[in-house]
Structure 1
Amino acid sequence: MILHAETALLPQGWAQDVRIRIEHGRIAEVTAGVPGRGHGAILPAPVNLHSHTFQRAMAGMTEGRTAGQDSFWTWRALMYRFLERLSPEDVQAIAAQAMVEMAESGFAAVCEFHYLHHPVGGGTYADPAEMSGRVAAAAAETGLGLTHLPVIYEQGGVDGRALAGGQLRFGSGPEVFARVLDGAGRALAGLPDAVLGVAPHSLRAVSRATLGRVAGMTAGPVHIHIAEQVAEVVEVQAAWGARPVDWACANLPLDARWCLIHATQMTPAETAALARTGAVAGLCPVTEANLGDGIFDGPGWLAAGGAFGVGTDSNVRISLPEELRLLEYSQRFAQKARAVMADHRSTGRLLWEEAATGGARAAGRASGRIAVGQWADVLALDTADLRLEGLAGDQLLDACLFAGRDGLVTDLWSAGRHIVQHGRHIARAAVEARFRATLRRLRDSL
């Protein structure tokens, strides 16, 4: 397969008249200065580094006020009620729809932080990895790249209290989780670019003994929620004598395999210490705003040399440009300044490039750059759109992120699979019809 672009963002910067040859899903050759007919602009397509796809079906349903002060914790209670109605077929239908929307937004792959393992009330399916198989089937149907992260969820809090209610669908002891992980690996076998990792849910939900073993469970990435909420920081500090990120830096083998999700509640010292480990910060600005989590310390993280990527988390809104835009705008609110996350590159280019390379690292995926040997995770922008008229280089990305609209991605390839064409995912019609039916039934039952 040969792609041509009038301009493309390569690792060394913008290049003109770029020819990209793709073989077996990977980039085999990149040559600039070769005129040809094709696309206006081609960019590396990032990985969505944090998603719970089943929550896509809840989008817009948790915005009413409940008694007292609404927070992450009241949202979680509503989420538990919702998941009591989900069957394996529902999970596959919802995941496929979310993946279609991710691709159309510009994501070439997703890290699925997957904790919905078991039937309502606990126990296991005949295949303990039934739900992982459903996620893998959605990836096969949509062609989106997948890093699958089965979640360890052992306890209801740092104090070790038992799981209850909706949490019973998440919980697994070591023996059951080993079967889930093994089955998930088999489910991914038919996906040529899939990656298997592991995810201890959080310091609240996993014992210290298990946290000490988790890095050895797979050779793939390790993801964990951390320091998302003030109440979580207080709970961990009271029980273990240290704030969550301080404790993690001192007790976990953090390195480039790890991705720490949210980390919105960090001191400057924690920010610098975590960045030095090489772990990726997994930022989900839309969900963090929706849940009232707080604002990540972007300037401190970049100053310490930290890597980051973005994810759609609760999937209340699936939009790569909005995640990046809100990341920068939240910094402007906090710092009372503009262009906070720019360096010698413009704000838009820094956000895009860092999210692409950081997300690829978090996913354990050879992507994030248009370079020989990488998976062909690339997208084309509609440079004929009025919002991009006459712009080139960094200004093209700035306009796309800060002045653009949904639908500027005309085409997207995931490991060379051309899954978005003319702005629409090739499987959208069938996937959307199944999702609509699922959504109507679920919402009628609530």
Structure 2
Amino acid sequence: MSKKEKIAQAYGHAKEQYAALGVDVEDAVRELDKLSLCIHCWQADDVSGFEVPDGQLSGGIQVTGNYPGKARTIEELRKDIEKVLSLAPGKHRLGLHAIYGDFGGKFVDRDQIEPKHFQSWIDWAKKIGIKLDFNSTFFSHPKSADGYTISHFDPEIREFWKEHLRLCRRIAAEIGRQQGDPCVHNIWFPDGEKDKTVSRFEHRRLLKEALDDVFTEKISTDYLKDTVECKLFGIGSESYVVGSHEFYTGYTVKNNMMLTLDAGHFHPTEVISDKISSLLLFVPELMLHVSRPERWDSDHVVILTDELSALFQEIVRSGQKEKIHVGLDFFDGSINRLGAYAVGIRSTQKAYLQALLEPTDKLRAFEKEGKNFERMAYLEELKALPWNAVYNYYCLKNNVPVGDEYVSAIQSYENDVTSKRE
């Protein structure tokens, strides 16, 4: 029996076991195929971007490690992304930061960027058949060096960053227009302080005022979907972050706009899976940034943890999948960067598949009938069912590596391509 036949046979056995619980595996796979992950471009080059010709930004995002072979040019980055996409089943999106524009080797400051600087990205995305999302970039710049951008006390600095945000919204809208699908524009400010801060209210008032001002420019949601991202603390902003969870919850509910939850942006004992069902009652859509915090917002590579599983269980159980966007947000320079992508994408898909293979209606019925033992028993039995046989078959049908085959594919790419970049 060939390997393909063995995979198909295992899939057949899995279908039978899940069918006994009332789960249609083929329906689950069809739903999995609809998951269009937003894959972040910045894992491939350690968040360097192409804003300055020498590739050296002023700092602001911490990436650990110096594993050889990171992408140094737009061409190398695109080649790496194409390789990653060839190793993962499904159709996905690519998230760009504003510092990744095609600036032609010239410095273009952030209050001067235009859609033309991203036209080659739009053309490339169309060529390979993916969609793009966008992120404004408020870190790694002289005008953010003291920890504040759009909530700065200096009105000239505030205006600089407001203009950057205006331009980013227009760029994202043009991306959405050309690709015929709304571009999700994620907005995160690093504003905050390392030590005890007296003027929290004033900074937050300035942030609200700036956002209100920028958002007076109305852009059709056919092209653009703005979303704001909250955070508890970061390196250099341990005391507080201006754009807290409470701030953005209030802002998004008041303005009926999307909210971004990053798995690493909360207290180390706090998880975002428990927030989904509450927030979906009050905001129109959610953007989830999937990363793996290790005690803090360390942006470790996503692996199949209990919290990742819980996150996708809540997405499925909420019955609101169409209102939730999922993007990856990790950066690890200590290991093969493409390997990090492959592990993160596949682990995320596996967590979603596990959730889709749950007999949710049966479990809800147990709850309504007060059969909590039965609910517990089934949830435990599900953990041992052959969901991976279903994922392997999904990879096979999509003509991508099955099981650990992607490891040798990445090793070959490293030998032939990335190892020659030093």
Return the offset for 1:53: 1.7
Change (3 A) 1:260 1:140: same
Return the offset for 1:58: 5.5
1:306-345 matches, within 5 Å, as 310-314=326-330, 316-319=340-343, 320-323=345-348, 325=350, 344=360
Return the offset for 1:406: 5.7
Change (3 A) 1:158 1:212: farther
1:119-134 matches, within 5 Å, as 122-124=107-109, 128-129=114-115, 132-134=118-120
SS in 1 for 2:261: strand
AA at the equivalent of 1:160: Y
SS in 2 for 1:133: helix
AA at the equivalent of 1:227: K
Return the offset for 1:249: 1.6
SS in 1 for 2:396: strand
1:4-403 matches, within 5 Å, as 42-56=30-44, 74-75=62-63, 86-101=72-87, 104-106=88-90, 108-110=91-93, 112-117=95-100, 122-124=107-109, 128-129=114-115, 132-144=118-130, 146-153=131-138, 156=144, 159-160=147-148, 173-175=161-163, 178-179=166-167, 181-183=169-171, 185-186=173-174, 189-192=177-180, 194-202=181-189, 204=191, 208=207, 209-213=209-213, 218=219, 219=221, 220-227=224-231, 229=233, 231=235, 234-236=238-240, 240=242, 244-252=244-252, 253=254, 255=256, 257-262=258-263, 264-265=265-266, 271=275, 274-278=279-283, 279-280=285-286, 282-285=288-291, 291=299, 298=310, 302=314, 310-314=326-330, 316-319=340-343, 320-323=345-348, 325=350, 344=360, 399-401=386-388
Q: Which runs of 5+ in 1 are unaligned?
A: 1-5, 19-39, 60-71, 163-170, 330-338, 348-393, 412-419, 425-431
SS in 1 for 2:114: coil
Q: Going by fraction, where is helix more abundant, 1 or 2?
A: 2
AA at the equivalent of 2:72: L
Distance 1:342 1:15 in 2: 10
Return the offset for 1:42: 3.9
1:226-254 superposed Cα distances (whole Å, 9 cap, x missing partner): 327565874435xx5xx810121223446
1:373-416 superposed Cα distances (whole Å, 9 cap, x missing partner): xxxxxxxxxxxxxxxxxxxxx97996335x666674234xxxxx
Return the offset for 1:268: 8.6
Return the offset for 1:93: 2.8
SS in 2 for 1:410: helix
SS in 2 for 1:265: coil
- Tell me the equivalent position of 2:334: none
Distance 2:146 2:246 in 1: 16
CA contact (8 A) 1:50 1:112 kept: yes
CA contact (8 A) 1:136 1:187 kept: yes
AA at the equivalent of 2:245: V
RMSD: 5.8
Distance 1:232 1:291 in 2: 16
1:423 counterpart = 2:410: no
SS in 1 for 2:266: coil
The two structures have a TM-score, normalised by structure 2, of: 0.52
Change (3 A) 1:268 1:92: closer
CA contact (8 A) 2:147 2:190 kept: no
Change (3 A) 1:195 1:55: same
Identity %: 7
CA contact (8 A) 1:286 1:312 kept: no
AA at the equivalent of 2:347: E
AA at the equivalent of 2:33: A
AA at the equivalent of 1:55: Q
Distance 2:66 2:210 in 1: 28
CA contact (8 A) 1:203 1:226 kept: no
Distance 2:385 2:298 in 1: 24
SS in 2 for 1:221: strand
Distance 1:317 1:285 in 2: 11
Return the offset for 1:310: 3.9
Distance 1:51 1:14 in 2: 29
Distance 1:158 1:295 in 2: 38
1:288-343 superposed Cα distances (whole Å, 9 cap, x missing partner): 797359996958994996865543323723354412556999xxxxxxxxx9x967
Distance 2:307 2:327 in 1: 14
Change (3 A) 1:268 1:54: closer
